């Protein structure tokens, strides 16, 4: 049995007194409304699908997903396993956080290592060394192998223009592809999860959250995150307008000067193309202040792969990536 | 603490809807520098001198290539008082499908007209669909007032005409507001315009911030579709048995007398639980777990309702369908109906009427219902369901019609005969 309060850094016990209705009622409070919507979606999937799974990287959106799943089924354990597609280019702090969270909540964690696909020739390393685009096949292979029929992702519609029309229940065909014509209108809070054998549905409980909502909720609920989301000292070098860090994905090339800066990450992905931002925000409140003043969207600031082309995201979605 | 308002926009092509939505995002600083840079670059490429804000809400690439928007897109903006989820429903082809989708969750709709053209046929149709779906509040944004030299008399004619039409659809005076705006220049969108000294009402954004979000939930009877039964069977919670769901209407408190449907079992609420602890009251929209006094056999798909004001349990009802599929509906069709958390087999026994958009009246006994058409039907179910009239309790009067063969969503269904309520019939 995993109690909810264990996810909180402070370890405060659950409140025993009745929570005042005014404080958290969905009709009066934006975050309560978004939380209730996400919980409804989790329960709907639990009721209608045979083999759901939560994509869990240890990043902030997937950590929020897990937090909401725990709340949806409390005091019972979350009835789904976790799945991570590990590029081998992830930050150590995030991987150990991922493992810690799975263990704390007693959840099975399935890891698909991109390296395995490279080693046996199903995938080849790209010349630029970036592995984000290589995640698609291991993800689809693992979904097929385990016959998952609902796959929760942390995608939000405000992240990117191509996502503005994404459904909360997004149908994928037997090849994992997204077909615009088969996407269903979503009416009221009635979700249609019907699919044929071999097909699956991607489910996005955070669709209606913005980056500010995510951070405000993380602060309100005291959700624990990997340390690299907060300011720390790091050796970095400049490439394509981003601060990259050394790792198994490579390091500075000739002429790229290494500096030690105070930075944090706004997203955590493949280390070869995820940039740090200069920041002294070391608490969640300071991060919120920074987000509010920020002039760059998350993806624009930190993800090189999205900057390749304006429609890059859309192309990858058709292929079955997120 | 800020609240959430869900709204939808509707308008004909070129009335300036994209510009208005872009303006709302821009003026609430919901557009960040890199997005704005991209729009600036694209505007320069097209030879424009000022950034074209409509590009902020551009859609998928395939649609961009065709130069049209064909699907509902969701946009997000916020002020310190309120957060907004905006369903941007394109007014072109497939407008009914999109308007119905956007309207199903909207607490308010913004309809756009071009000040030079005023209320046109499509404005009336849009308003009729919004009324059919029961969107509680309407705003008419009379756009491009700069092009009529901010003329008060012309604006007043449009406002009066719209008020009359809205009243005929059942909108009370206080639930409709008409605002003169220029999406291009920003007049009365987020800042009060000096060009319209004769207009004393709020700006569009002020109105969106201040409008009450929901009718008083205490007026509505309690409705709670059971989504999932929570039974931990753990050492800490060996006997816990809770019914999880999202309150569809009304409020619930420990001690309330309720009835479980379709079984018709009466019992009492002992506890309203959440992961944050028990609640002394919870209202519509809240996801909670309800514990009951008696040990009953309750499963996903059942409905817990107020014992004094309960829905009808029936296997046959009249309904209004908004047909959303390119395959047509004919009487005798076998379909699935998803209502609350239950899906049952159903037969469309009779196709009684079709809404004629041109005349805003109904046609009796049509042969079929086609994509984007709205009609009145009689439905028979393979098992009984607890249903409300949509006008009485929208969330438990709403259902999906699903194709049993391929799983497609065929129609949005509303329990009851709604066409005469919107002036048709
Ligand atoms: N003069 C003027 N032009 C406007 C206004 N709003 C939009 N437009 C122009 O009207 C045209 C259509 O606008 P757009 O937003 O693309 O319309 P949509 O098809 O309704 O999304 C564009 O050329 C806009 O620049 C306005 O308030 N005043």
Residue B216 lies in a domain: no
| Radius of gyration, CA atoms only, chain B | 23
CA of B19 to the centre of ligand 1 (A): 6
Q: B391 and B245 in one domain?
A: no
Q: B340 and B357 in one domain?
A: yes
Substitution target in B9, B59, B228, B230 with the highest count of A β-carbons within 10 Å is B228
Q: What is the pLDDT of residue B93?
A: 57
Residue B215 lies in a domain: no
Residue B218 lies in a domain: no
pLDDT in tens, A111-158: 999 999 999 999 998 887 788 888 999 999 999 999 999 999 999 998
Range of the domain at B234: 223-306
Q: B187 and B114 in one domain?
A: yes
How many structural domains does chain B have? 3
| B104/A188 Cβ within 8 A | yes
Mean pLDDT, chain A, integer: 84
Q: Which of A27, A208, A212 faces B217 most closely, judged by CB atoms?
A: A27
Q: B255 and B131 in one domain?
A: no
Among A20-24, A179-183, B359-363, name the one with the lowest average pLDDT.
A20-24
Mean pLDDT, chain B, integer: 91
Could you tell me the sign of the dihedral formed by the alpha carbons of A85, A91, A92, A93, in that order? Answer: negative
Quick one: which of A293, A277, A287 has its CA closest to A243? Answer: A277
- The DSSP line for A206-237 is TTT--HHHHHHHHHHHTB---GGGS-EEEEEE
Q: What is the pLDDT of residue A312?
A: 45
Q: B16 and B108 in one domain?
A: yes
* Residue B276 or residue A307, greater confidence: B276
Task: Report the CATH number that the domain containing residue B154 is assigned in CATH.
Answer: 3.40.50.300
Q: B121 and B20 in one domain?
A: yes
Q: ipTM for the complex?
A: 0.94
Q: B167 and B26 in one domain?
A: yes
Question: pTM for the full model?
Answer: 0.92
Find out whether A108 and A148 touch, Cβ atoms under 8 Å: no
**Which pair of structure tokens corresponds to residue A95?**
């991987």
Question: In sequence order, what E strands does B274-403 have?
Answer: 282-283, 287-292, 303-306, 312-323, 334-339, 342-356, 361-364, 374-387, 398-402
| End-of-domain residue from the set B263, B279, B306 | B306
Q: Which of B3, B228, B235 faces A29 most closely, judged by CB atoms?
A: B3
Structural domains in chain A, sorted by start: 18-212+313-319 (3.40.50.620), 226-306 (no CATH)
Q: In this complex, is the C-beta atom of B66 within 8 Å of any C-beta atom belonging to chain A?
A: no
* Nearest residue in B to A299, CA atom: B34
- Which residue owns the Cα nearest ligand 1 atom 19? B14
The CA-atom distances, in angstroms, between B112 and each of A306, B11, B108, B203 are 34, 5, 13, 15
| End-of-domain residue from the set B264, B283, B306 | B306
Q: B230 and B200 in one domain?
A: no
Q: B302 and B344 in one domain?
A: no
Q: What is the pLDDT of residue A2?
A: 40
Q: B238 and B193 in one domain?
A: no
Which of the four pLDDT bands, split at 50, 70 and 90, describes residue B69?
A: very low
Residue B123 lies in a domain: yes
Which of B10, B11, B14, B69 has most ligand 1 atoms within 8 Å of its beta carbon, as the pocket-test mutant? B14
Exposure on the CB side of residue A141, measured as CA atoms within 13 A: 14
Q: What is the pLDDT of residue B297?
A: 92
Range A222-228 average pLDDT? 95
Q: B111 and B206 in one domain?
A: yes
Alpha carbon B395 to its chain's center: 11
Residue B301 lies in a domain: yes
Between CA B368 and CA B372, with CA B369 as vertex, the angle to 5 degrees is 155
Task: Report the CATH number that the domain containing residue B239 is assigned in CATH.
Answer: 2.40.30.10
- In the three-class reduction of DSSP (H, G, I as helix; E, B as strand; rest coil), residue B159 is classed as helix
* Nearest residue in B to A297, CA atom: B32
Question: In sequence order, what E strands does B147-238 have?
Answer: 176-180, 223-225, 228-230
| Radius of gyration, CA atoms only, chain A | 19
| End-of-domain residue from the set B251, B286, B306 | B306
Range A63-78 average pLDDT? 97
């Amino acid at each position: 049995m995993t109690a909810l309060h264990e996810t909180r850094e402070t370890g405060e016990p659950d409140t025993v007194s009745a929570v005042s209705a005014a404080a958290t009622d969905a009709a009066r409070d934006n975050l309560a409304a978004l939380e209730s919507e996400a919980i409804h979606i989790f329960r709907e999937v639990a009721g209608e699908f045979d083999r759901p799974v939560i994509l869990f990287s240890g990043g902030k959106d997937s950590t929020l997903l897990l937090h909401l799943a725990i709340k949806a089924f409390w005091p019972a354990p979350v009835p789904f396993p976790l799945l991570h597609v590990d590029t081998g280019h992830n930050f150590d702090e995030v991987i150990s956080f991922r493992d810690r969270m799975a263990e704390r909540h007693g959840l099975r964690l399935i890891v698909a290592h991109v390296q395995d696909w490279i080693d046996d020739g199903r995938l080849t390393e790209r010349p630029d060394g970036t592995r984000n685009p290589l995640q698609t096949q291991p993800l689809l292979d693992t979904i097929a192998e385990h016959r998952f029929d609902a796959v929760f992702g942390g995608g939000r519609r405000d992240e990117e223009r191509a996502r503005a029309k994404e459904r909360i229940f997004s149908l994928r065909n037997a090849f994992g592809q997204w077909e615009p014509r088969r996407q269903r209108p979503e009416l009221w809070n009635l979700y249609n999860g019907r699919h044929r054998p071999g097909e699956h549905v991607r489910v996005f409980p955070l669709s209606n959250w913005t980056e500010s909502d995510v951070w405000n909720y993380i602060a309100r609920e005291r959700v624990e995150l990997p340390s690299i989301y907060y300011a720390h000292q790091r050796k970095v070098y400049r490439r394509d307008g981003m601060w990259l860090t050394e790792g198994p994905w490579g390091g500075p090339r000739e002429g790229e000067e290494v500096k030690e800066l105070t930075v944090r990450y706004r997203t955590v992905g493949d280390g070869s193309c995820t940039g740090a931002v200069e920041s002294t925000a070391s608490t969640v409140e300071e991060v919120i202040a920074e987000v509010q003043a920020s002039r760059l969207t998350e993806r624009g600031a930190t993800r090189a792969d999205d900057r390749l082309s304006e429609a890059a995201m859309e192309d990858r979605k058709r292929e079955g990536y997120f | 603490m800020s609240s959430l308002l869900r709204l939808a926009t509707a308008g004909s092509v070129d009335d300036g809807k994209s510009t208005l939505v872009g303006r709302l995002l821009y003026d609430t600083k919901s557009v960040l520098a890199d997005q704005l840079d991209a729009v600036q670059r694209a505007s320069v490429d097209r030879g424009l001198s000022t950034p074209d804000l409509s590009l902020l809400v551009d859609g998928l690439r395939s649609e961009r290539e065709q130069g049209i928007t064909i699907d509902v897109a969701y946009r997000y903006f916020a002020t310190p008082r309120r957060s907004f989820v905006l369903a941007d429903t394109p007014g072109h082809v497939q407008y009914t499908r999109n308007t119905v989708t956007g309207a199903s969750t909207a607490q308010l709709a913004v309809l756009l007209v071009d000040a030079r053209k005023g209320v046109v046929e499509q404005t009336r149709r849009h308003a009729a669909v919004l009324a059919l779906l029961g969107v509680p509040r309407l705003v008419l944004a009379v756009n491009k007032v700069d092009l009529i030299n901010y003329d008060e008399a012309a604006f007043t004619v449009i406002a009066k005409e719209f008020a009359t039409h809205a009243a005929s659809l059942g909108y009370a005076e206080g639930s409709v507001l008409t605002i003169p705006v220029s999406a291009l220049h920003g007049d009365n969108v987020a800042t009060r315009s000096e060009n319209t000294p004769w207009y004393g009402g709020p700006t569009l954004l002020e109105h969106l911030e201040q409008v009450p979000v929901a009718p008083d939930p205490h007026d509505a009877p309690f409705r709670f579709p059971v989504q999932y039964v929570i039974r931990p069977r753990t050492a800490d919670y060996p006997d816990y048995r809770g019914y999880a769901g999202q309150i569809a209407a009304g409020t619930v408190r420990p001690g309330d007398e309720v009835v479980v449907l379709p079984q018709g079992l009466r019992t009492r609420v002992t506890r309203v639980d959440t992961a944050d602890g028990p609640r002394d009251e919870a209202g519509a929209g809240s996801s909670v777990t309800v514990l009951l006094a008696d040990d009953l056999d309750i499963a996903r798909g059942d409905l817990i309702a107020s014992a004094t004001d309960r829905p009808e349990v029936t296997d046959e009802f009249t309904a209004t369908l908004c047909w959303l599929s390119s395959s047509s509906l004919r009487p005798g069709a076998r379909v699935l109906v998803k209502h609350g958390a239950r899906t049952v087999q159903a037969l469309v026994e009779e196709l009684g009427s079709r809404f004629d958009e041109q005349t805003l009246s109904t046609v009796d006994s049509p042969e079929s219902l086609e994509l984007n058409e709205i009609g009145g039907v009689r439905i028979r179910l393979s098992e009984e369901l607890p249903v409300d009239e949509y006008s009485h309790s929208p969330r438990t009067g709403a259902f999906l019609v699903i194709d049993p063969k391929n799983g497609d969503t065929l129609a949005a269904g509303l329990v009851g005969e709604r066409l005469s309520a919107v002036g048709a019939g």
